[in-house]
């Protein structure tokens, strides 16, 4: 059976929500992160989630590949778009932006400054700079969402699911991020979806 490896509260929540959204026959396996004996290391040598292990043992990693892969298993649900369509290209563009500018460009140095400098004294500065970069990256999304319900073509897509996860991480970052009302709105709409509620409950987050 296909297995999706996730960690509670991690970016894997987007893929996890799709399993429920699309009613896919995929088993969810929750693992610990940054723990040497976690089973994730046998699946993904980088020790990261999400990771999808197919029936034949093949492993697919990276949100940017995994979210489209899962959505394409049930194209009739309309969470992605047909190959060759402009809509599909736009959804891919937002997924690329969220992966690179928001997750790795912003959240990673903010949450893991030790990956950027072994000098602990440098960490507050790395965090402060990362918070600024993250805010700038999100402000671009905020402007795009002004007057729009969702990221692409006025319907919920895998790009919104991915954004919804990051939106859920913002409240703990405090006042600096409280001005991002459109992103908060998309985050609340994501969280209200029955499939997301199921995933959150399974991750022990309700």
Ligand X SMILES: N[C@@H](CCC(=O)N[C@@H](CS)C(=O)NCC(=O)O)C(=O)O
Residue facing ligand X at closest CB distance:
48
Which residue's structure tokens are 């795009």?
144
The answer to whether residues 43 and 49 touch, using CB atoms and an 8 Å cutoff, is no
Closest CB to ligand X among 32 and 139?
32
Please identify which residue in 3, 22, 24, 33 interacts with ligand X, judged by CB under 6 A: 33
**Span from 44-52, 120-128, 152-160, 190-198 in contact with ligand X (CB under 6 A):** 44-52
Using the CB atoms, write b or e for 89-112: b if 16+ within 10 Å: ebbbebbebbbebbbebbbebbee
Q: Does residue 48 touch ligand X according to CB under 6 A?
A: yes
Query: 8 or 149, CB closer to ligand X?
Result: 8
| β strands within the chain, DSSP E | 3-6, 27-30, 51-53, 59-61
Residue 148 binds to ligand X (criterion: CB under 6 A): no
Nearer to ligand X by Cβ, of 115 and 148: the residue is 115
Q: Is 102 in the site for ligand X (CB under 6 A)?
A: no
Q: Of 48-56, 80-88, 129-137, 167-175, which segment contacts ligand X by CB under 6 A? A: 48-56
Measured from the CB atom, the residue of 11 and 161 that comes closer to ligand X is 11
Environment class of 160 (CB within 10 Å of its CB; exposed 0-12, middle 13-18, buried 19+): buried
Number of CB atoms found within 10 A of residue 60's CB: 17
Which residues, 6+ apart, have CB-to-CB distance to 189 below 8 Å?
156, 160, 164
Closer CB to ligand X, 102 or 131, in the complex? 102
Does the protein bind ligand X through residue 99 (CB under 6 A)?
Answer: yes
Minimum distance of ligand X from residue 99's CB (angstroms): 5
- E strands, 143-188, are none
- Around Cβ 169, how many Cβ atoms within 10 Å? 20
- 60-79 residues in contact with ligand X (CB under 6 A) are 62-63
Contact set with ligand X (CB under 6 A): 10-11, 33-34, 47-50, 62-63, 99, 103
């Amino acid at each position: 059976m296909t297995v999706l490896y996730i960690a509670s509260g991690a970016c894997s929540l987007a893929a996890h929500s799709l399993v429920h959204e699309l009613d896919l026959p995929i088993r969810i396996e929750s693992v610990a992160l940054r723990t040497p004996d976690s089973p994730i290391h046998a699946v993904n040598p980088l020790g990261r989630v999400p990771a999808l292990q197919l029936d034949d043992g093949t492993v697919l990693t990276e949100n940017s590949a995994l979210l489209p892969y899962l959505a394409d298993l049930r194209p009739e649900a309309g969470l992605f778009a047909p190959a060759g369509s402009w809509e599909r290209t736009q959804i891919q563009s937002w997924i690329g932006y969220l992966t690179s500018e928001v997750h790795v460009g912003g959240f990673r140095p903010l949450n893991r400054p030790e990956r950027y400098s072994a000098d602990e004294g440098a960490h507050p500065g790395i965090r402060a700079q990362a918070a600024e970069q993250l805010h700038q990256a999100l402000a671009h999304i905020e402007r795009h969402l002004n007057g729009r319900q969702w990221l692409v073509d006025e319907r919920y897509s895998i790009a919104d699911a991915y954004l919804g996860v990051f939106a859920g991480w913002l409240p703990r970052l405090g006042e600096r991020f409280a001005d991002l009302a459109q992103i908060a709105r998309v985050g609340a709409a994501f969280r209200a979806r029955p499939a997301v509620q199921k995933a959150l409950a399974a991750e022990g987050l309700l």
